[in-house]
Chain A
Amino acid sequence: MFDIIIIGAGAIGSFLARTLSQYESNVLVLEKENDVGNVTSMANSAIVHSGYDPVPGTKKARFNVEGNRMFPEICEELDVSFRQIGSLTVAIEEKQLSVLKELAERGKKNGVPTKMLTAEEVLAMEPNITKDVKGALLCPTAGIVNPFTLTAHAMENAIDNGVKLHLGEAVKAIKKINGGFQVDTDVATYEAKVVINAAGLYSEEIAKMVEPISWKINPRKGEYYVLDHFRPGFVNHVLFPLPSEKGKGILVTSTTSDNYLVGPSSEFVDEKDDFSTDPLTLKDVRAQASLMVPNIPFPEQIRVFSGLRATPSTHDFIIEPAKKNPNFINVAGIESPGLVSSPAIAKYVVEELVSAVFPLKKKANWNPSVRKYIKPSEMKDEEREAFVKAHPEYGEMVCNCEQVSVGEIKDVLSRSLPCLTIKAVKKRTRAGFGKCQGGFCQPKVLMLLAEHYGISPLEILYDKEGSNILLKESK
């Protein structure tokens, strides 16, 4: 019997696993996808929000602000790209200035430092913003993060500290048994004293396996444009319009890889696996973003994508034990600001909710850090020369656009966290994220995967089961 089973290996599941790995406990993570962070945690704005926006007193406000404070240290430990570039919430009409003041007031209540800027100050910081700008609210603690490695490295660190991860196992039923639960997946049956439901979009379905619930999770789609890293400094902060009931609005930001991200839209959809994009929605995203930043070079577009937010019917995060089962904990409805909140949520769940039902004792030898990831393309010339001399595989390039070497790919393939697909390699290393979108590197990555796992290239998947790239030998 496991002490704790976590269902779901998104940002929440991964940080829960990492936090629990600090304690003497026998933890299993079950994930239906073949990689961690493969759904909502993968397709979002990747913003480390400051926390001025959530309504004071809500869980969103609390965990956002707490999470934001944890990010610098966590990203250092987990070797994740993070830049505290600050955000600007931009007023483009005179009447919006009063709303900015209310937001500043809200920030104050949430404990978030903000500063009102005049139009001149904004234009000095952001020359590409509309000349119609009337002012902006600066939140210096906002930042951007690499969301792919954030989740992956948190889970890698958890595994290094003893957590077990089973990928490709969907939970089908949960039964109450003496001293805990029996969890049936499509592959096997497990038992645990405590179960944590971090199943994202499907947390409603998982929760209902244990007892009736009063809340729902509705998928809300956001569509985005990704632009190439054509020029650093096109925008220097995360730029938000004024928030509305639909969310934080369509933002324009750089990413930790110096790309630019424009989006998201916000529409409720029927299906929890509908990741399609729609030209009309994207056209609207483009039009709205252009109100704030008029000359976005859309010909530099290298991709469009959509993500689904797990929007709760309660309008706030659901972080509580099931009503009749204190050892079944729901962590559900983690929509924006979910990514930034995830480490703080994990800390709270473990220290307050798990500890109430399972005795927690800290390990003496917990290691908070992952083994450093080596990126020759970020080294100075002399350093790179010496390093590549000693490690020749870091001299052979795989991805031209993002400059990823064979050594970096073999590194992620050899880590404790499984890296099974072309997309998993892409998320870990950025190979295939550039403007040619894998045109040059995908065949090389495919062959490296086949070689590493000792299987036929025909068996290598792009992403999900059935997503094989090669379907037949030509001879």
Chain B
Amino acid sequence: MVIEKDLVIIGGGSAGLAAANAAYDSGVKSILIVEKGPFLGGILNQCIHNGFGLHEFKEELTGTEFFTRLTVESEKRGIEYRLNSFVTKIGEDKSVYYTNKEEGYVRVKAKAIIMSAGCYERNAGAIGIPGDRPAGVITAGQAQLYMNEYGYLVGKKVFILGSGDIGLIMARRMSLEGAKVLGVAEIMPYSNGLNRNIVQCLEDYGIPLYLHHTVSHVWGKSHLEKIEISEVNDALQPIKGTEQVFECDTLLLSIGLIPYNNLLNQLGLPTSRSRGAWVNEHMETKMDGVFSCGNVLHVHDLADNVVAEAKVAGKAAALYLQNKLPRHEELILVEPGDGVGYTVPCEIDLENAEEKIPVKFRVRKPTKECYITYTFNGEVIKKIYKQTIIPSEMEIDPIPKDLFKGEKSGKLVVSLTPKEVK
């Protein structure tokens, strides 16, 4: 079956829904969202905790309430979607191929595409946890799905590796549902979660946080029986003599999220240090009319920020479809400098850019009393003082277009510089 659409959106989570709504409001009426799961809303279906929506809706919502607001908006606009539908590939001609039970194998001839398929969890395989291979070593997000949608607990005595927010939130959820959470080990000397989650998910339940510790061994022939944690040295290697053993049936892993960019790789499109697509200020990849936003582009800590980014992508797709987004030869490259992990965007087409260009990035490690310094072609054009800056919170700075003084090519470096000592 072959159908035609102006805009195909791959992934119907918060990014895909917000992008669809924004594109519609900018004049695109022929839109199809292709969602692999059984519901719209993506990962927020299993995020039953609160803390969402403070920016976007100016009130505190749960993840499920947050995505429902977005689906209500897309239903009002009559935006078409397919559930349980999986995109297998994107053709050079921007054909999107998807498969589902009802329609079989479908080719959609698209004029523009937004990739918003989210991310996946780093898992035991990726870090090669030392020791046995028992059941009971499971990613925190998967345990969250089993608990919050399927209604099952994966364990009764739990240890958590990694202090990412999902791990912390699961520590509280499992405690509330009757499991005993013995502790959280974090390999870095600082937590990777929000302070609020450290307080309300760990301290409230008396769960210890072991900073600069990792799991150095797991035991269990069929199911997990016990784990060993060790303090680590500066090279993050376990220190002999610091071992502590915990008997537990479950080890939850909250050790990072990675953009799920299979389609990007198939197309051979360049990626950035975030492991998502290389995009410009309009979230457009190096392939004309193909955009990317949300966690498939770079992993966000707030769904509200995903929505803001997706709106940019949705509007940009509309501009592209209206032939109002030409490519220009001259580009400003955006590079992460000292202390900065990656940036979004990776390049700026100044002729297309709006008055303020949001530059997003994450720092590599927590830093106190420092400047974020923007250096354009060797000259500092902006400097912002920060009392504290941490990797777990994405920074967003709107850079005024006039700072570039009409210079349309060159290199913008974002770096962290220490406060000068007087």
Contacts and interface: CB of A to CB of B under 8 A. Distances in A.
Please say whether the chains A and B touch (CB closer than 8 A): yes
Interface of A: 225-226, 230, 273, 275-279, 282, 301-305, 376-377, 381, 384-385, 388-389, 392-393, 395-397, 400-401, 403, 405-406, 435-440, 442-443, 447, 457-458, 461-475
B142 A388 contact: no
B130 A278 contact: yes
Contact of A276 (B126, B132, B152, B177): B132
Contacts of A403: 86, 88
B147 interface: yes
A465 to B, nearest CB: 6
Contacts, number: 147
B155 interface: yes
B241 interface: no
Given A277-B130, A384-B99, 13 more contacts: A230-B265, A303-B125, A381-B97, A396-B100, A400-B36, A436-B120, A436-B121, A436-B260, A437-B126, A439-B139, A470-B152, A472-B152, A474-B151
Nearest to A461: B135
B101 interface: yes
Given A278-B130, A400-B36, A395 B99 contact: yes
B147 A474 contact: yes
Contacts of B126: 301-303, 435, 437
30 contacts: A276-B130, A276-B132, A279-B128, A279-B130, A305-B133, A376-B105, A385-B1, A385-B105, A388-B99, A388-B104, A389-B104, A389-B105, A392-B101, A395-B102, A396-B99, A397-B36, A400-B36, A439-B121, A440-B120, A443-B142, A447-B150, A462-B135, A467-B135, A467-B136, A469-B135, A469-B138, A471-B250, A473-B153, A474-B177, A475-B151
Contacts of A302: 125-126
B135 A401 contact: no
A102 B99 CA distance: 54
A467 B84 CA distance: 29
A458 B128 contact: no
Interface string B118-134: 00110111101011111
Given A277-B131, A301-B126, A467-B222, A439 B107 contact: no
A468 B260 CA distance: 28
B262 interface: yes
B222 A471 contact: no
Interface in B149-204: 150-156, 177-178
Contacts of A393: 101
Contacts of B84: 396
Given A273-B221, A392-B104, A435 B146 contact: no
Contacts of B107: 381
Contacts of B226: none
Most chain B CB atoms below 10 A, which of A278, A279, A301, A393? A279
Contacts of B152: 457-458, 470-474
A471 B102 contact: no
Contacts of A377: 88
A38 to B, nearest CB: 12
A304 B125 CA distance: 6
B146 A443 contact: yes
Contacts of A467: 134-136, 222-223
Interface string B36-48: 1000000000000
B123 A439 contact: yes
B222 A395 contact: no
Most central of B126, B153, B249 by chain A CB within 10 Å? B126
Main secondary structure of the interface of A (DSSP, over half): mixed
A212 B155 CA distance: 46
Contact of A436 (B123, B132, B136): B123
Contact of B142 (A442, A447, A461): A442
Contacts of A395: 99-105
Given A275-B133, A282-B128, A400-B86, A472 B156 contact: yes
A463 B128 contact: no
A464 B130 contact: no
Interface residues of B, number: 53
Contacts of A470: 146, 150, 152-154
Contact of B153 (A273, A282, A461, A472): A472
A308 to B, nearest CB: 13
A377 B88 CA distance: 8
Contact of A301 (B106, B128, B262): B128
Contact of A277 (B86, B102, B103, B128): B128
A334 B141 CA distance: 42
Contacts of A468: 135, 223
Contacts of A435: 120, 126
A471 B130 contact: no
Contacts of A439: 120-121, 123, 139, 141-142
Nearest 9 interchain pairs by C-beta = A303-B125, A397-B86, A467-B135, A464-B222, A388-B104, A304-B128, A462-B135, A466-B222, A470-B152
A381 B142 CA distance: 33
B79 interface: no
A434 to B, nearest CB: 9
A282 B130 CA distance: 10
A178 B142 CA distance: 56
Contacts of A303: 125-126, 128
A466 B155 CA distance: 13
B145 interface: yes
B222 A463 contact: yes
Most B CB within 10 A of own CB, among A230, A301, A303, A395? A395
A80 to B, nearest CB: 24
A376 B130 CA distance: 37
A59 B1 CA distance: 56
Nearest to A304: B128
A345 to B, nearest CB: 29
A213 B299 CA distance: 61
A388 B99 CA distance: 8
Contacts of B101: 392-393, 395-396, 406
B334 to A, nearest CB: 23
Contacts of B124: 437
A447 to B, nearest CB: 8
Interface string B280-309: 000000000000000000000000000000
Interface string B308-343: 000000000000000000000000000000000000
A381 B98 CA distance: 11
Contacts of B131: 276-277
A396 B102 CA distance: 9
Given A376-B99, A466-B222, A471 B128 contact: no
A169 B99 CA distance: 41
A385 B3 CA distance: 13
A463 B135 contact: yes
Contact of A457 (B147, B150, B221, B222): B150
Contacts of A230: 265
B262 A437 contact: no
A472 B150 CA distance: 11
B339 to A, nearest CB: 21
B271 to A, nearest CB: 12
